[in-house]
Amino acid sequence: MKYLLQKHDLLLRIMRISMTQACFVLIAASISYGTNAPGQSLLEKQVSITVENKSLKTVLNQIEKAAKVKFMYSPKVVQAERRVSISVTRQTLGDVLQQVFDPLSLTYRVSGDHIVLSRMKTEPQSLNGTSPASVIPELPAERTVTGTVFDDRGESLPGVSVMLKGTQRGTVTDPEGNYILVLADADFNPDAVLVFSFVGYLSQEVAVGDRSTLTISMKIDNKALEEVIVVGYGTQSRKNVTGSISKIDMKQTQDMPNTNVGQSLRGRVAGVQFLDNGRPGQNGSILVRGPRSLSGGNNPLIVLDGIFFNGSLSDINPNDIESMEVLKDASSAAIYGSRAANGVILITSKKGTTDKPTIRVSAFSGLSNWSYKPKLLTPERYIEKTLDIRRQTGLPADPANIRDYLTSSELVNYDAGRTVDPYDEISQQGRISSYDLSLSGQSSRTNYFLSTSLSSEKGLIYNDNMKRLAIRANIENEVSSWLSIGMNANYIRRDLSGREASLGSAYPATPFGTWYHEDGEPTWYVIAEDQIPYNAMRDAMLTTNQEVYSNLFTNFYALVNVPFIEGLSYRLNYSPNYRWQHNYNFVRQDKHETHINNTSASKMNRQDFDWVLENILTYSKRLNENHVFDITLLYGRNHSGWESTQANSTRLSSDALGWNNLGLGELLVNSSTAAATDGISSMFRLNYRLKDKYILTLTARRDGSSVFAANNKYASFPSAAVAWIASDERFLQEATFLDMLKLRFSYGAVGNQAISPYQSLSLSSTNRFVYGDGGVSSLGVFPSNMANTDLKWETTYTANAAVDFELFKNRLGGTFEIYNMDTRDLLVRRSLPNMTGYDFVWTNLGATNNKGMELSLNSVNIQKGKFEWLTNFVFSRNKNKIVHLYRSDTNGDGVEDDDIGNRWFIGQPIGVAYDYVFDGIHQQGDEMPTGYEPGFVRLKDLDGDGKIDANDRKVIGQTGQPKYRWGLTNTFRYGDLSLSVFVNAMQGWISNLSTVDYSVSGGNYPHRPLNMLDAGWWTEENRSNTRPSMVYPNPYGHGYYYSRDFIRIQDVALAYDFPKNIASRVKLTHLRMFLSGKNLYTWTNWIGPDPESGETNRGSFFPTARSVTFGLNLGF
């Protein structure tokens, strides 16, 4: 990314910071891992470096990268343009520095992890080339100003440039920090100002007045501000960012066994919600800030190395990722205007950073089990259920006759004392392992990062497995001084083969069922004669399944730094993305059902081909000290298309060939489909900085997308943002507790196009029918999609205000943001009255609003000797509501109509529970409606008209997203040992856990020999006031609502870095071990499988895994 940094002004960039260093800085500000060797050991670092005839600046730069140190110096003092050659291999830093500096008459001292450069003492000199000592006595007519410059710790600073403002006259401080400046009479006036400047420190201007001694204390420039942020089509210094961007350093989660990059987001970024669905190798869902669209997608746009990434998030190897940035407000996201309405996640892969090839190995392996197992009926409770349901339906229910009430098959197991826990029966030992190897480095012209990783996960459900191979090559070559060509290529093979056991069938399995024949073959139904429930292991055991996803994602780019016009560069991106997947299945013959040919085989193949072509022109110009411009222009096109073929064959004549010869089947059915979308984008962005304190960003993007109606393909999305670095103002310089204060405000528009292609058109689907006996299959065609010739972009207008701060010598830092997002012309999959002939139509209507606040805090609580305690806290709250729907008022009450059919209510959040209100259970003697009996649910008669009807429904609570989320990370470090504990919480949401509805509509069928979630039920003896009897038919079809609030100890990691001397003894540059635990404990009242995934469908009760993992990172 360095090509986008301005190269011409070294003073501006106080330090050269590579991406790696930026990460280190961030860590220093948030979570420390103790890899920085303090003090003297810094000089013992092993360094290899080879340069020939390069500027000193470049050499220092490379040493910075190789040794992870920072140099502080005045370029003029050290004459940084001087040419140097050096070639060393694995020498200590101290030796290297000596070799470089001695010939140049430079010296240095170590301050923390900084190395401060100065001229050797013997040669103090003024910039005019004459020694001040010799000048003073000879020119008495002139006046001298003397003094000492200290750093903020009170140590003297050598090499500081001291200049008389507005002139070329000046000097530098000597190794003791002293200076003598001789001023001519002409220069001396009451307004004379001295400018003190030094790399790594804030410049200071001091009026001389009539003083002859000026002692100055320099302040270190805030390092957090220098963090480099990927902003989309370029990078920026954190200091200059105007929008709302959260950066996620992957090092934060390096000690956690994450196989999906989304897991690194989980709970850690204010305003970002990642919900893990608990399954290996599959995507969770991500929500940035809040849902805006009623039914257009709410998934954020993923941009990998600058290119739209349409694949699965689980295709990205977390170990390849340097950082992720989440663009949350309109200003930062507007640059991706067309697709950015739901936020953008920028993912940047790693690059080479050292001259010496660096090989890194990281590996982890762990075991997992169920963090929570939903409670099904135990054998004892199952017997109780069997008796109670009979009692409540008026059938004989004598416990002594229980043998008559069980089915014949159950009886066999009941008599033999055999019982089955269905969830145990379909479980397997969860395992996770990952091995990652990377090679990276840079030579004078080439930067490379090559990696390969193998990860393997066994989920908790039998056959729910994932294996992934990821290979990456990032190569950039500097062809000439003005041309670089590079490639980021990524190949992933994700193998989800294996038919997993059926959770949906396990749920209702009686504890007395028979799962296996004596030869170990699965039965068909666990109660054979009743043919329920389907054996949850049957398909898993009879089916051979191959499900493999491949993804080749490549970006080829050329970067031209246009000669003769400094600051102008052009970048060409071409990114083809091939994805191919197949899903083959073969069901073998059931050996116990030979009279039935149950064999079947199928093949599904799908190919996706997407491409992005982009032309990006950037121009950076510093007009003078006060004005800096950055201009970015983009013109690009993108395409995404896919096609698939499905072939099914049933009743194969032989099961010898699996799916390889579908022709063996008796009934062959095949189908295919295809779709494509296209887009055109052009974009303009201007960054303007005034005095490096006032920053303005203007962005405009115009997008065209094929998915909209013919006349509405294009839309424009402008935005503006301003930032003010208040702490750089003179009047705040005195506030010493304030290290940095920055205010930001932005407003702008971004678009949403997240609908399938062809939705603006009228479409037809097909089916088949057979006329006559023995007739052929005829094709039926029918209208399936209502056209909408007005379908257009959905637009979100976001206002964002934020303050960034660093206080108390960077002991406390953070960001506080508030935002207001108005979304208009919502893309809505609007339900229609069935009388129209359709279920829904895609349309634009209404408006939604999201208001929220986000707070991120980093603090260094204790820093004493080797001990350090750091805290990171993120909190976010989003309030979502529907502002308008159809702007209709059919009943004339002056209030806009709600859309009850879609459960959309003006003024309420998008996802709400709208239902009858539970009011306890009818008990014996209560007055109750006709047909009711004790044990039935009492609903509230809201309108008081004496009966329960549709008017007695109301909005009960918020579903879909919590009212607020928070995450707290505490990191404790003692020397090389660190412990971090991350707690994640979401609160203020409910969900209808329909599974606990024991009526037929809940699908539990309690009168049949089926198991169910043990949520309790009303009986004559146990007159519950919260749970109905088992015969309650739920005539109004109301839901059962539970809070999904939870607090979870999500990640705990204990890591140990072996001391350098031990590591180097085994020829390693670093060696790190970690032990981590995931989802260790959860506080919640939710009785479904997991409050975070909130799954209520029994077929998706995938358990959230609690895992313990051991890992190793090493480099050499």
- Among positions 318-377, residues that touch another protein (CB under 8 A) are none
Q: Give the CA distances from residue 673 to residues 638, 670, 794, in Å, rounded to whole numbers and listed in that order.
A: 21, 11, 27
Residues 576-605 that bind another protein (CB under 8 A): 595-598
Which of 356, 493, 637, 851 contacts another protein by CB under 8 A? 637
Crossing angle for the helix pair 19-29 and 56-67, nearest 10 degrees?
Answer: 50
C-alpha to C-alpha distance for 971 and 268, rounded to whole angstroms:
14
169 three-state secondary structure: coil
CB of 675 to another protein, least distance (A): 6
Tell me the closest approach of the beta carbon of residue 84 to another protein, in angstroms.
17
Q: Are the C-beta atoms of 265 and 274 separated by less than 8 Å?
A: yes
d(CA 216, CA 163): 13
Angle between helices 93-101 and 56-67 (to 10 degrees): 180
Q: Which of 141, 186, 416, 779 binds another protein (CB under 8 A)?
A: 779
Q: Cα–Cα distance between 590 and 586 in angstroms, integer?
A: 12
Q: Per CB under 8 A, does 674 bind another protein?
A: yes
Instruction: State the nearest-atom distance from the C-beta of 890 to another protein, in Å.
Output: 5
| From 435, 491, 524, 1058, residue interacting with another protein (rule: CB under 8 A) | 524
C-alpha 796/C-alpha 794 separation (Å) is 7
Interface residues for another protein in 244-303 (CB under 8 A)? none
Other beta carbons less than 10 A from residue 440's beta carbon: 19
The residue among 207 and 763 lying less far from another protein, judged by its C-beta, is 763
DSSP class of residue 945 equals S
Query: What's the rounded Cα separation, in Å, for the pair 1070 and 1058?
Result: 7
CB 496 within 8 A of CB 466: yes
Q: Does 193 bind another protein (CB under 8 A)?
A: no
Residue in 16, 45, 742, 830 binding another protein, rule: CB under 8 A: 830
Q: Do 451 and 472 touch, CB atoms closer than 8 A?
A: yes
Q: Which helix (H) or strand (E) holds 387?
A: helix 379-392
Per-residue x/- track, 841-880, another protein (CB under 8 A)? x-x-------------------------------------
Does 961 bind another protein (CB under 8 A)? Our answer is: no
The closest alpha carbon to 208, from 146, 156, 160, 151, belongs to 146
Residue 607 binds to another protein (criterion: CB under 8 A): no
Q: Which residues in 448-487 contact another protein (CB under 8 A)?
A: 479-483
User: Nearer to another protein by C-beta: 150 or 635?
Assistant: 635
Name which position in 103, 663, 837, 907 contacts another protein (CB under 8 A): 837
Contact flag: residue 680 with another protein (CB under 8 A): yes
Nearer to another protein by Cβ, of 166 and 929: the residue is 929
Of 753 and 850, which has the nearer Cβ to another protein? 753
Q: Of 58 and 615, which has the nearer Cβ to another protein?
A: 615
DSSP 196-253: EE-TTB--EEEE-TT-SB--EEPPBPPSGGG-EEE-SSSEEEGGG--S-EEEEEGGGG
Give min distance, CB of 458 to another protein, in A: 33
838 binds another protein (CB under 8 A): yes
- What's the closest the beta carbon of residue 654 comes to another protein, in angstroms? 16
- Exposed/middle/buried for 768, CB within 10 Å: 0-12, 13-18, 19+? exposed
Q: Does 669 bind another protein (CB under 8 A)?
A: yes
Q: Closest approach of Cβ 613 to another protein, in Å?
A: 7
Contact flag: residue 831 with another protein (CB under 8 A): yes
Angle (nearest 5°) at CA 338 between 570 and 820 = 115
The angle at the Cα of 780, spanning 779 to 786, to the nearest 5 degrees, equals: 140
Which residues neighbour 779 within 8 Å (Cβ) at sequence distance 6 or greater?
766, 768
CB of 538 to another protein, least distance (A): 13
Q: Which stretch binds another protein (CB under 8 A): 405-413, 448-456, 462-470, 1081-1089?
A: 405-413
User: Could you give the angle at the alpha carbon of 888 between the alpha carbons of 885 and 892, nearest 5°?
Assistant: 135
Residue 250 CB partners (closer than 8 Å, separation 6+)? 264, 318, 321, 322, 323, 324
Q: Is 521 in the site for another protein (CB under 8 A)?
A: no
Sort 373 into a burial class: Cβ within 10 Å, 0-12 / 13-18 / 19+: middle
> Could you say whether residue 531 binds another protein (CB under 8 A)?
yes
Provide the terminal-to-terminal Cα distance of the chain, rounded to the nearest Å. Answer: 25
Q: Which stretch binds another protein (CB under 8 A): 72-80, 698-706, 720-728, 1099-1107?
A: 698-706
* Helix (H), strand (E) at residue 381: helix 379-392
Interface of this chain with another protein, residues 987 to 1026, rule: CB under 8 A: 999-1001, 1006-1007
653 binds another protein (CB under 8 A): no
Q: Which of residues 781-800 bind another protein (CB under 8 A)?
A: 781-783, 785-788
**Does residue 500 belong to the site contacting another protein (CB under 8 A)?**
no
Smaller CB separation from another protein, 1 or 617? 617
When binding is defined by CB under 8 A, the residue of 407, 640, 1076, 1079 that contacts another protein is: 407
Among the residue ranges 137-145, 281-289, 557-565, 581-589, the one whose residues contact another protein (CB under 8 A):
557-565
Q: Which of residues 710-769 bind another protein (CB under 8 A)?
A: 710, 713, 757-758, 760-769
Among 87, 130, 393, 653, binds another protein (CB under 8 A): 393
DSSP per residue over 95-147, as a string? HHHHHHHGGGTEEEEEETTEEEEEE-TT---BTTSS-HHHHHHH-TTSEEEEE
416 lies in the binding site for another protein (CB under 8 A)? no
Q: Is 706 in the site for another protein (CB under 8 A)?
A: yes
Among 558, 657, 799, 807, indicate the residue that binds another protein (CB under 8 A): 558
Q: Is the separation of the CB atoms in 646 and 620 below 8 Å?
A: no
Exposed / middle / buried, residue 838 (Cβ in 10 Å: 0-12, 13-18, 19+): middle
Q: Is residue 928 close enough to count as binding another protein by CB under 8 A? A: no
How far apart (Å, rounded) are the C-alpha atoms in residues 183 and 136? Answer: 10
Give residue 252's identity as a one-letter amino acid code.
Answer: Q
**Minimum distance, C-beta of residue 444 to another protein, in the bound complex (Å):** 11
> Which position among 52, 81, 380, 949 is part of the footprint of another protein (CB under 8 A)?
949
Q: Is the dihedral of CA 321, 322, 328, 333 positive or negative?
A: negative
Q: Least Å distance between CB 153 and another protein?
A: 43
Nearer to another protein, 597 or 1097 (CB): 597
Question: Do residues 589 and 601 touch, judged by C-beta distance below 8 A?
Answer: no
- Binders in 115-154 for another protein, by CB under 8 A: none
85 binds another protein (CB under 8 A): no
Buried b (16+ CB within 10 A) or exposed e, 666-680: eeeeeeeeeeebebb
Q: Please state the closest distance from residue 848 (CB atom) to another protein, in A.
A: 19
Minimum CB separation of residue 567 from another protein in Å reads 15
Q: Which C-beta is closer to another protein: that of 393 or that of 1022?
A: 393
Pick between residue 365 and residue 650 the one whose CB is nearest to another protein.
Answer: 650
Q: Does 443 bind another protein (CB under 8 A)?
A: no
Closest distance to another protein from the beta carbon of 561 (Å): 9
Write the binding mask 886 to 925 for another protein: x where contact by CB under 8 A, - elsewhere. Answer: --x-x------xxxxxx-----------------------
The least CB distance from residue 842 to another protein, in Å, is 11
- Indicate the residue among 148 and 569 with the shorter CB distance to another protein: 569
